[in-house]
Amino acid sequence: MGEVYRARDSKLKRDVAIKVLPEGFSHDPERLARFQREAEILASLNHPHIAAIYDLADVEGSRVLIMELVEGETLAERIARGPIPIKDSLSIARTIAEAVEAAHEKGVTHRDLKPGNIKFTTDGDVKVLDFGLAKVRDAGGNPTSLATAATMMTSSVPGVIVGTAAYMPPEQAGERKRTAPRTSGPSAACFTKC
Residues known to be catalytic: 112
The CA distance from 102 to 82, in Å, is 30
Question: Which of 147, 149, 151 is closest to 179 using CA atoms?
Answer: 147
How many angstroms separate the CA atoms of 137 and 154, rounded? Answer: 17
The DSSP secondary-structure symbol of 83 reads P
C-alpha distances (whole Å) from 181 to each of 50, 77, 105, 171 are 17, 27, 9, 11
3-state secondary structure of 7: strand
Spatial contact of 70 and 119, defined as CB atoms under 8 Å apart: yes
